[in-house]
């Protein structure tokens, strides 16, 4: 059987060596492989080299401090879902981890791979033969986008489940590069382009995410809508971090996945501070979501459904977290 | 490129020259001759290839053999000892948890991973542990009952 493309596997022993190997334009990072190897089997890329990050010492840790936790890039999603301290202190992150794919994927899937997974589209996540018979598409090997044929850009949806939670919690990404390293707000890892949704330069890769300890009183949750109760990517995934007292909002952060080419932190929630948690607030929140998501025809489920469900999930989570029925 | 990997398959040490791009499912089926691990899809969708990697259920079709150096692999072939079915196999047989049988090795290995971690799982835990395994025949109810029977918690 020959299903993969004849790449060379490299297993670097240090971050510097990995960064140097990844500087080669034909090299791709390999973590759990649950996204990358499935995509390679579909012929979605033909890398000359895969650089295995899972042997890198120090990237498999959850490092807790008073200020928050540093999550190493090769910590598995299964571990995140089961870790008692994550469940207790960052419940939304454990919920998101538990909702990713199936148990057989989660034992291999990593945090870094989840943050960096490829964007998705019904015209793209198909076999080589399927895509060829459809003339390929703009994202790879073709020159038309079948979702928006008049346009010149790709609208494939970012569909990772961890990123919205980490955005709602104001996490930072720590990035290694051949020149050293840098740390930046997680949102800066992404850009609004389905064909090239990461801002990582050559040789750069994620080595950790730093999640600040939530302020006292903050409650959080993650929920996703999907065709089946397991395995499926989010049609829309919503993370909420809320502090409320006396029936009013103190602080609110909402972030979304599955609806845009990048995970999106909802803008304008700062202005809801001090507002009473009532139907008028839910209507305002719902409008904010509807305005800022831009689902396109990239799933078999209609875009408008994903817009509505994103808005409904955001409202429902705020209701539940605030204890309003 | 090829490299030598040494790993343990069903309790036996093996050493093989494997290509960097060889998937574990092909290693098991073609090189090791263990065809119990099934291929049901073109990558990660169905769970038929579920085996235990260092005791955790994982998908052989999304695992590179070259990355299994030093690791323990257990497939469906490891479960029966001295010609006797193990508790899950026996329960799937008795409770009709298997029909065409194609999903069964993956189902049983996923359930085996669960029972080792949690000998008396709730129905919800069983459903969650098997949520990555598709079956086109049974409708799942008999499968869940089989796992309950194997854990000694049949209703
Ligand atoms: C059937 C199926 C269902 C799935 N369902 C879901 C789902 O519901 N939700 C979801 O979020 N995902 C889902 N996935 C996708 C995937 O399993 C997860 O996103 C997983 O967390 C990816 O992690 P990984 O370590 O396996 O990544 P890999 O496959 O190893 O890598 C993914 C991508 O990220 C890059 N990469 C990996 N690590 C790094 C790093 N540290 N720095 C920079 N780049 C890196 C790789 O080059 C590659 O492009 C599903 C996959 C399948 C096959
Ligand atoms: S959105 Fe358009 S260009 Fe992007 S993957 Fe889908 S069809 Fe291709
Ligand atoms: S063969 Fe279908 S998940 Fe592996
Ligand atoms: S018994 Fe036939 S697929 Fe499950």
Q: For residue A48, give Cα distances in angstroms to A44, A276, B67.
A: 13, 57, 17
Whole-model pTM: value is 0.97
Atom of ligand 1 nearest to the CA of A99: 8
How many helices (H) and strands (E) chain A has is answered by 11, 12
d(CA A299, CA B52): 33
For residue A199, which ligand has an atom nearest its CA?
Answer: 1
List CB contacts of A38: < 8 A, sequence separation 6 or more. Answer: B43, B44, B62
Q: Which residue on chain A is closest to B45 by alpha carbon?
A: A231
β-strand A27-30 against A49-52: which pairing, if any? parallel
Instruction: Quote the tokens at residue B154.
Output: 């049949």
Residue written as tokens 């790709």? A154
Classify residue A299 by its DSSP letter.
S
CATH class of B87-150: mainly alpha
CATH code 3.30.43.10 for A1-52: yes
Which residues make Cβ contacts (< 8 Å) with residue B121, sequence separation at least 6? B114, B115, B129, B147, B151, B153
Distance A117 CA to ligand 1 centre (A): 5
DSSP H or E segment with residue A321: helix A303-322
Class of domain A62-116+157-212: alpha beta
Q: Give, to the nearest 10 degrees, the angle between helix B87-94 and helix B141-150.
A: 140
| Full 3-state SS string of A153-201 | CCCCECCCCHHHHHHHCCCEEEEEECCEEEEEEHHHHECCCCCCCECCC
Residue nearest to atom 4 of ligand 4 (CA): B135
**Look-up of token digits 């590069």:** A177
Specify whether the CB–CB gap between A18 and A24 falls below 8 A. Answer: no
Transcribe A257-288 into DSSP letters.
ESSSSS-EEPTT-GGGTT-B-SHHHHHHHHHH
Which part of chain A has CATH 3.30.43.10? 1-52
Return the number of other C-beta atoms located less than 10 Å from residue A207's C-beta.
24
Q: What is the pLDDT along chain A (325 residues), one digit of tens a residue?
A: 457 989 999 999 999 999 999 999 999 999 999 999 999 999 999 999 999 999 999 999 999 999 999 999 999 999 999 999 999 999 999 999 999 999 999 999 999 999 999 999 999 999 999 999 999 999 999 999 999 999 999 999 999 999 999 999 999 999 999 998 999 999 999 999 999 999 999 999 999 999 999 999 999 999 999 999 999 999 999 999 999 999 999 999 999 999 999 999 999 999 999 999 999 999 999 999 999 999 999 999 999 999 999 999 999 999 999 998 6
Span from the CA of A137 to the centroid of ligand 2 (angstroms): 6
CB-defined contacts A:B, below 8 A: 88
Domain ranges across chain B: 2-76, 87-150
Give the Å distance between the CA of B107 and the centre of ligand 1. 23
Provide the mean pLDDT of chain B: 97
Contact B1 A8 (CB under 8 A): yes
Cβ atoms of A311 and A290 within 8 Å: the answer is yes
Indicate where chain A has its CATH 3.30.390.50 domain(s): 219-322
Query: Would you state the structure tokens that stand for residue B79, as one six-digit string?
Result: 């479960």
Q: Is the pLDDT of residue B108 over 90?
A: yes
Within 8 A by CB and 6+ apart from A167, the residues are: A186, A187, A239, A253, A255, A263, A264, A265
- Option in A52, A104, A230 nearest B59 (CB): A104
Chain A positions touching chain B (beta carbons under 8 Å):
1-9, 11, 33-34, 37-38, 41-42, 50, 52, 54, 78, 101-105, 107-108, 127, 229-231
Ligand located closest to B136 CA? 4
- Residues of chain B with pLDDT > 70, as a percent, come to 99
**Phi and psi for A243 in degrees, rounded to 5?**
-120, 135
Q: Which residues contact A302 (CB under 8 A, 6 or more apart)?
A: none
Domain B2-76 CATH assignment equals 3.90.226.10: no
Which ligand minimizes its atom distance to the CA of A134?
2
* Residue A137 Cα distances to A197, A261, B42, angstroms: 16, 16, 21
Q: Token pair of B24, please?
A: 């574990």
pLDDT at A3: 79
Contact A224, A234 (CB under 8 A): yes
The tokens describing B112, both together, are 């085996």
- Residue A180: the pLDDT is 86
Alpha carbons A306 and A310: distance in angstroms, whole number: 6
Question: Which of A41, A102, A229 is nearest residue B42 as measured by Cβ atoms?
Answer: A41
Let me know how long chain B is: 155
Structure tokens at A121: 């589209």
Measure the CA angle with vertex A247, ends A245 and A250; round to 5°: 45
- What class, spelled out in words, does domain A219-322 have in CATH? alpha beta
ipTM: 0.96
Mean pLDDT, range B85-93, rounded to an integer: 97
Residues 6+ apart with CB under 8 A from B56: A78, A107, B113
DSSP A101-169: S-HHHHTT-BHHHHHHPPPB-TTTSS-HHHHHHTT-BTTBB-S--SSSTT-SS--PBP--SHHHHHHHT
Q: What is the CA radius of gyration of chain A?
A: 20
For chain B, the straight-line distance linking the first and the last C-alpha, in angstroms and rounded, comes to: 53
Residue B5 has pLDDT above 90, yes or no: yes
């Amino acid at each position: 059987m020959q299903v993969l493309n004849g790449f060379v596997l490299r297993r670097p022993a240090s971050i510097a060596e990995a960064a140097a190997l990844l500087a080669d334009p034909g090299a791709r990072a390999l973590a759990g492989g649950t996204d990358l190897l499935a995509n390679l089997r579909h012929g979605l890329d033909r890398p000359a080299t895969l650089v295995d990050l899972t042997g890198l010492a120090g990237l498999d840790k959850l490092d807790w401090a008073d200020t928050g936790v540093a999550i190493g890039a090769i910590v598995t999603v299964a571990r995140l879902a089961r870790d008692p301290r994550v469940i207790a202190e960052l419940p939304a992150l454990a919920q998101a981890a538990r909702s990713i794919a199936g148990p057989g994927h989660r034992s291999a899937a990593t945090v870094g791979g989840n943050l960096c997974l490829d964007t998705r589209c019904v015209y793209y996540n198909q076999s080589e033969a399927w895509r060829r018979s459809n003339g390929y598409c703009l994202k790879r090997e073709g020159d038309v986008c079948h979702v928006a044929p008049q346009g010149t850009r790709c609208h494939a949806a970012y569909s990772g489940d961890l990123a919205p939670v980490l955005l709602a919690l104001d996490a930072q990404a720590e990035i290694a590069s051949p020149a050293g390293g840098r740390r930046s707000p997680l949102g800066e890892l992404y850009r609004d382009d389905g064909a090239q949704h990461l801002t990582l330069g050559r040789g750069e890769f994620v080595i950790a995410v730093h999640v600040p300890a939530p302020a006292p009183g903050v409650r959080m949750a993650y929920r996703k809508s999907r065709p089946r109760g397991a395995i499926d990517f989010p049609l829309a995934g919503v993370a909420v971090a809320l502090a409320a007292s006396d029936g009013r909002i103190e602080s609110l952060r909402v972030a979304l996945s599955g609806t845009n080419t990048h995970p999106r932190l909802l803008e304008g929630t700062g202005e809801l501070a001090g507002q009473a948690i009532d139907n008028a607030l839910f209507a305002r929140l719902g409008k904010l979501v509807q305005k800022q998501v831009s689902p396109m025809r990239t799933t078999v489920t209609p875009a408008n459904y994903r817009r509505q469900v994103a808005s409904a999930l955001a409202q429902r989570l705020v209701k539940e977290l605030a204890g309003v029925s | 490129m090829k490299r030598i990997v040494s790993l343990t398959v069903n309790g036996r040490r093996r050493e093989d020259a494997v290509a960097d791009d060889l998937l574990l499912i092909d290693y098991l089926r073609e090189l090791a001759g263990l065809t119990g691990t099934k291929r049901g899809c073109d990558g990660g969708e169905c769970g038929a290839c579920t085996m235990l990697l260092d005791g955790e259920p994982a998908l052989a079709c999304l695992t590179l053999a070259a990355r299994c150096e030093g690791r323990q692999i257990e497939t469906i072939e490891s479960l029966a000892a001295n010609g006797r079915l193990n508790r899950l196999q026996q329960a799937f047989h008795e409770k009709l948890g298997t029909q065409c049988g194609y999903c069964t090795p993956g189902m049983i290995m996923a359930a085996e991973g669960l029972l080792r971690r949690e000998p008396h799982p709730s129905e919800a835990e069983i459903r969650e542990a098997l949520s990555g395994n598709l079956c086109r025949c049974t409708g799942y109810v008999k499968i869940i009952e089989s796992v309950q029977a194997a854990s000694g918690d049949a209703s």
